[in-house]
Structure 1
Amino acid sequence: MHPVIDQVTRRITERSRASRQDYLGRMEALKAQSPHRSTLSCGNLAHGFAACGPSDKNTLKFMNQANVAIVSAYNDMLSAHHPYHGFPDIIREAARGMGSVAQFAGGTPAMCDGVTQGQPGMELSLFSRDVIAMSTAVALSHNMFDATLLLGICDKIVPGLLIGSLSFGYLPTVLVPAGPMPSGLPNKEKQRIRQLYAEGRIGRDELLEAESKSYHSPGTCTFYGTANSNQLLVEVMGLHLPGAAFVNPGTPLRDQLTRAATEQVIRLSRPNGGKLGLGDMVDEKAIVNALVALLVTGGSTNHTIHWIAIARAAGILIDWNDYAELSAVVPSMTRIYPNGQEDINAFHEAGGTPFLIRELLDGGYLHDDVQTVMGAGLEAYTRMPSLENEELVWSPAPEASLRPEVLSSASRPFAADGGLKVLEGNLGRGVIKVSAVAPEHHRVEAPAVVFNDQNDLKEAFESGALDRDCVVVVRYQGPKANGMPELHKLTPYLGVLQDRGFRVALVTDGRMSGASGKVPAAIHVYPEALDGGPLARVRDGDVVRVDAGNGELQVLLEEQELAAREVRVPDLALRHQGYGRELFGWMRRSASSPEEGAGFFWNHDA
């Protein structure tokens, strides 16, 4: 094991000792009462299986067979979740084949950040994670279940499902992916057309045609944003079946993996002799493995928030220093858009997650002494699934990457580090991902151009006011101000400025998309402007330094001058009404900092 990874893991374990012991004690007490159907009255149980057929009712009358809860984020609009429409029937059939039952326990909301980018709905996006967690808990609260299957893929959905399920961490749980859509328009071409549109050189019709060729069928979007980062991290944690993350939907292999996931979670259930639940598997070492996987693949910056929240749900306390120390020693092993030009399908074809896990194990970058849904250790996760005579089999990952320009080895990485840095200074504390940023742009020092609303940047760009070296400060975008929306809509404009030869960077207390790319962006900066953060005191023309190499986020002013400036908070009332935003005021008011997970389930002393 790499000494720094071992050291960070030990520090997390010590930091989390009290909260982790408390969590495990609560789960052990709940486990001792299971199967919970035995505690239900006859009236309770009759309600619980009233809609079942006679065979399933007979099974559920006794406690010696498993009842599997299906919790799904299916909906028709999200391409990633559309394939889940047919999964419950596959799961029920597979469960009956094992002498067990599967019930659709509940659905969770699933919004698409691709639809809501730059729209009012994006201001509900971050908080949808915790709504999903609560709805997962409601689904599982009926005490009818011995095991759980979680059907979800995208941005806030997998973190929300995990947070909710960890409250029932005594139950064995398997996440069931649906897979990415086939490759569409090449990412380089999509990026080119977006920038042409931002410059006004093509119209809406041409842009829509290109976007429709990029996002064209059921399945997850194929770039390496938050959704595909979710899938890779969960698989490295051993919560998927091996190699399941990136098998395309609507294929025989995909369906067989869903059947196998059902059969495996039943084997793990207490009626079948299982001893371990989700809370046992999501331990300190599994969390560190997930962070390593995030960093070596240049994954979504959103997970500097979400995986903190997931860890807290299991009683584990991590912070950005843990990410930064790991990032400094793990190699960068992938080039998947936006960190390269190829997509997640190319990564899977190159050897995918099984090849990656084997390389990381051999290099001492992953803990192998973990519990997974396949048993102890990660050896099973170095194998790729396929069908032979309609039977599901696993074979070792290829000895060498089949696409070395997409997936490298640990011994010959694309870069020596993971490219995630913590920034700190008199403007606060934030993070920056530089895995897709050219080295010459890792340090930008330029006059600030300040916006309180992301929509104002477009007008400034079109007027030519940004045609110069500048640090664009977009503030009042934090959780308490407006729900911390992603600001991916700004990316084409900033990219054009950089391509014109200007030195440009973004500083914000909001988020960037999981697909943030070539422009340096100091994000998740806190204290946020609405919470008294120094971003509220920056003015146009102030010189701001964003230095990823030295971890600096500074405005070049004397401390006394910055502190003495009057703060004029903009009227945010219009950002708190309409499109359901008025229902989320209590979440905005009680949100924790990004480094604490930007949620409200745990206070600052949790």
Structure 2
Amino acid sequence: MTSPLHPVIAAVTDRIRDRSRDSRTTYLDDMAQAAGQGAPRHKIGCANLAHAFAGCAADDKAALRGEAAPSIGIVTAYNDMLSAHQPLERFPEIIRRAARAAGAVAQVAGGVPAMCDGVTQGEAGMELSLFSRDVIALATAVALSHNTFDAALCLGVCDKIVPGLLIGAARFGHLPVIFVPGGPMPSGLPNSEKARLRQLAAEGKLDRAGLLEAEARAYHAPGTCTFYGTANSNQMLMEIMGLHLPGASFVNPGDPLRDALTAAATRRIVMLAASGSEPTPLAQVLDERAFVNGIIGLLATGGSTNHTLHLVAMAAAAGIRLNWQDFSELSAVIPLLTRIYPNGTADVNAFQAAGGMAVLIGSLLDGGLLHGDVQTVAGPGLDRYRQVPALEEGGGVVWKTAGGASRDRDVLRTVDEPFAADGGLKLLSGNLGRAVIKTSAVKPQHRIVEAPVRIFHDQADLQAAFARGELDRDFIAVVRFQGPQANGMPELHKLTPPLGVLQDRGFKVALVTDGRMSGASGKVPAAIHVTPEALDGGMLARLQDGDILRLDGEAGVLEVRLTEAELQAREVASLPPAMQRTQGVGRELFGLFRRNVGAAEAGASIFAAA
């Protein structure tokens, strides 16, 4: 039985609601004005409408001439270079057929860019990665701007793509929207073994051919990477926020249930349209409770630190203002219920086999740790997400209530027996500014580090120093000028193997940066997203090699052992000349973004809060 809502969750939600009152009211007023009456395609000129259906088959064209058939816009992030998005190639035709059977018409309204952080890690292209989220939001708006659609389906999976789709879709919140996932690839090389081999390569004990073979065994098929990074955190978020159909997140590509769920999403979106039996615009789903539920899901699963940026930016698009204090206060009362790599050895397929989202959501509801009274694309109330989908005869989907117990307590637990009492995400503050740290994968003995600083301006510089044997000691690596204004806030994922090796050798090491560490943040303590960033007046620009810095992941402290007067007297470091060059792989086109991007705690977005 569901318990009363935890008082901290209630208090944080009330504070967010109060903080957002004006911006949320403006948003809802905008959506009400956009809604109007009747099918939007019949408000545009005849030539405009003829353009809109000129490419359709005859039956679809006839349906769009009339007023009864809902028009469904598909916004897709398909490309076949991303393994997670390759399955989306087939989805539009599945959706078109299901729409026709439901008395509707579906068209691909537009495509959005979808880059792979796994390909660009450590490369110049990573400097475009975070900004691609806002480009995707703009592209989503372009796709839906034709103003002929009654509803939309968003097809996307990976890191910046789902947040970008949601930011764009939120500005069309007068329409119903369902997110349609592609599912994770089958399990390959275990993630723990992959990490071990990467550390061996960092030490020079495994050659390129051996490392490439290992990586190819890990990333081996269509579908999302199986570790619990940002891509799979996205899928968890869309489900716990009520934007997926129940149980849709982690069904593998190629499973007949995957296609059946895509068709079911199409039938459902027809029902949610204004002319359908259950009209439900996106703006009704995206309220303060939904975003708090999203944060809670992130904390309960040890999800990606990237969402301390993305959730803030997504919420702002719906007129809701979040900050890192909200995350930190919720983390103190949300237990960690999963052990999925990098917070354990299992992958998302093991999580799904253990009971997946149905068990997770059911347990959180039973513990009074979620808002259960929310609107979802499946209908009123989050209780519907205790159910799991199954393929029925004829290819349809039926939902059945799942048992509340985990089938593998090494991977997934309930609130009465958690892996940890808190969600492992903390706000750090001190004389260097504010930052976040994810401690769920960091052993308690490594969560407090006080050591001399070693300054780096590039992750390659740290790797080179490691290769020269200069880092076999206690130190805190400060990698600065990695914020959104400096170079687009790239992930610094290639720091993980060398720092992990040093920690395994018995040294006290940590990372402090105004950059990102991605959903793969692991066993080394890392104060990330430091704000203000070094290029924007942040104190990181005043640090020098040898300064004593304290990172306390238990007490939430990040400070250098200098007085305010000593810090202010320091010369401010400038952006290194090598980093001032922004040519190559399109970086020169993103100067406008770097000049106008907001701070990390505001979502590192080019958009003003709604």
Work out whether the TM-score is over 0.5. yes
Q: Does 1:447 align with 2:452?
A: yes
Distance 1:475 1:573, change over 3 A: closer
Q: Does 1:303 align with 2:307?
A: yes
Q: Does 1:122 align with 2:122?
A: no
Following the alignment from structure 2 to structure 1, what is the Cα–Cα distance between the partners of residues 578 and 596?
A: 17
The residue that corresponds to 2:599 in the other structure is 593
The residue that corresponds to 1:503 in the other structure is 508
Which of 555, 560, 564 is matched with 2:560 structurally?
555
Which of 194, 197, 202 is matched with 2:201 structurally?
197
The residue that corresponds to 1:546 in the other structure is 551
Q: What is the 5 A alignment of 1:93-132?
A: 93-132=97-136
Following the alignment from structure 2 to structure 1, what is the Cα–Cα distance between the partners of residues 284 and 448?
A: 43
Following the alignment from structure 2 to structure 1, what is the Cα–Cα distance between the partners of residues 332 and 402?
A: 27
Following the alignment from structure 1 to structure 2, what is the Cα–Cα distance between the partners of residues 497 and 62?
A: 68
TM-superposition CA deviations, 1:176-198 (whole Å, max 9, x none): 00100000001121111000000
How far has the Cα of 1:572 moved from its partner? 5.1
The residue that corresponds to 1:405 in the other structure is 410
What amino acid maps onto 1:585 in structure 2?
Answer: G
Following the alignment from structure 2 to structure 1, what is the Cα–Cα distance between the partners of residues 425 and 504?
A: 23
Following the alignment from structure 2 to structure 1, what is the Cα–Cα distance between the partners of residues 331 and 39?
A: 42
Q: SS of the residue aligned with 1:270?
A: coil
Following the alignment from structure 2 to structure 1, what is the Cα–Cα distance between the partners of residues 277 and 141?
A: 25
What amino acid maps onto 2:538 in structure 1?
Answer: G
The residue that corresponds to 1:284 in the other structure is 288
The residue that corresponds to 2:335 in the other structure is 331
The residue that corresponds to 1:344 in the other structure is 348
TM-superposition CA deviations, 1:129-171 (whole Å, max 9, x none): 0000000000000011000000000000000000000110010
TM-superposition CA deviations, 1:400-456 (whole Å, max 9, x none): 100110001111000000000000111111000000000001100000000112210
Q: What is the 5 A alignment of 1:409-558?
A: 409-558=414-563
The residue that corresponds to 1:602 in the other structure is 608
The residue that corresponds to 2:224 in the other structure is 220
- Cα contact 2:413–2:419 (8 A) shared by 1: yes
The residue that corresponds to 2:254 in the other structure is 250
Which of 573, 581, 585 is matched with 1:579 structurally?
585
- Cα contact 1:65–1:272 (8 A) shared by 2: no
Following the alignment from structure 1 to structure 2, what is the Cα–Cα distance between the partners of residues 201 and 595?
A: 40
- Cα contact 1:458–1:493 (8 A) shared by 2: yes
How far has the Cα of 1:377 moved from its partner? 0.1
The residue that corresponds to 1:137 in the other structure is 141
Q: Does 1:173 align with 2:177?
A: yes
Q: SS of the residue aligned with 2:275?
A: helix
Gap runs ≥5 in structure 1? none
The residue that corresponds to 2:320 in the other structure is 316
For structure 1, which segment, 118-127 or 550-559, has the greater mean C-alpha deviation from structure 2 after superposition?
Answer: 550-559
What amino acid maps onto 1:448 in structure 2?
Answer: V
Q: SS of the residue aligned with 1:385?
A: strand
Following the alignment from structure 2 to structure 1, what is the Cα–Cα distance between the partners of residues 450 and 250?
A: 40
How far has the Cα of 1:557 moved from its partner? 1.1
- Cα contact 1:182–1:345 (8 A) shared by 2: yes
Which of 355, 358, 361 is matched with 2:359 structurally?
355
How far has the Cα of 1:276 moved from its partner? 2.2
Following the alignment from structure 1 to structure 2, what is the Cα–Cα distance between the partners of residues 575 and 95?
A: 50
Following the alignment from structure 2 to structure 1, what is the Cα–Cα distance between the partners of residues 481 and 577?
A: 10
TM-score, normalized by length of structure 2? 0.98
Q: SS of the residue aligned with 1:201?
A: coil
TM-superposition CA deviations, 1:308-358 (whole Å, max 9, x none): 000000000010000000000011000000000000000000000011000
TM-superposition CA deviations, 1:51-80 (whole Å, max 9, x none): 011111111012221010000000010000
- Cα contact 2:313–2:605 (8 A) shared by 1: yes
Q: Does 1:43 align with 2:44?
A: no
- Cα contact 1:34–1:146 (8 A) shared by 2: no
Which of 129, 133, 152 is matched with 2:156 structurally?
152
- Cα contact 1:481–1:572 (8 A) shared by 2: no
How far has the Cα of 1:274 moved from its partner? 4.0
How far has the Cα of 1:391 moved from its partner? 3.3
How far has the Cα of 1:574 moved from its partner? 4.7
How far has the Cα of 1:575 moved from its partner? 4.3
* RMSD across aligned positions (CA): 0.9
Q: SS of the residue aligned with 1:576?
A: coil
- Cα contact 1:575–1:581 (8 A) shared by 2: no
What amino acid maps onto 1:401 in structure 2?
Answer: S
- Cα contact 1:187–1:341 (8 A) shared by 2: yes
What amino acid maps onto 1:515 in structure 2?
Answer: A
Q: Does 1:275 align with 2:279?
A: yes
Q: Does 1:9 align with 2:13?
A: yes
What amino acid maps onto 2:62 in structure 1?
Answer: N
How far has the Cα of 1:506 moved from its partner? 0.1
The residue that corresponds to 1:209 in the other structure is 213
TM-superposition CA deviations, 1:564-606 (whole Å, max 9, x none): 1112312255541111000000100111111101011116xx6
Gap runs ≥5 in structure 2? none
Following the alignment from structure 2 to structure 1, what is the Cα–Cα distance between the partners of residues 211 and 459?
A: 21
Following the alignment from structure 2 to structure 1, what is the Cα–Cα distance between the partners of residues 308 and 471?
A: 30
Residue-pair matches, total: 604
Q: SS of the residue aligned with 1:210?
A: helix
The residue that corresponds to 2:61 in the other structure is 57
Q: SS of the residue aligned with 1:244?
A: coil
Identity %: 63
- Cα contact 2:285–2:376 (8 A) shared by 1: yes
Q: What is the 5 A alignment of 1:57-76?
A: 57-76=61-80
TM-superposition CA deviations, 1:1-54 (whole Å, max 9, x none): 000000000110111111001000000011124421011100000000000111
Following the alignment from structure 1 to structure 2, what is the Cα–Cα distance between the partners of residues 42 and 602?
A: 36
- Cα contact 1:443–1:545 (8 A) shared by 2: yes
What amino acid maps onto 1:52 in structure 2?
Answer: C
For structure 1, which segment, 191-200 or 53-62, has the greater mean C-alpha deviation from structure 2 after superposition?
Answer: 53-62
- Cα contact 1:63–1:271 (8 A) shared by 2: no
Following the alignment from structure 1 to structure 2, what is the Cα–Cα distance between the partners of residues 568 and 377?
A: 53
What amino acid maps onto 1:286 in structure 2?
Answer: A
Q: Does 1:387 align with 2:391?
A: yes
Q: Does 1:31 align with 2:35?
A: yes
Q: SS of the residue aligned with 1:380?
A: helix
How far has the Cα of 1:172 moved from its partner? 0.4
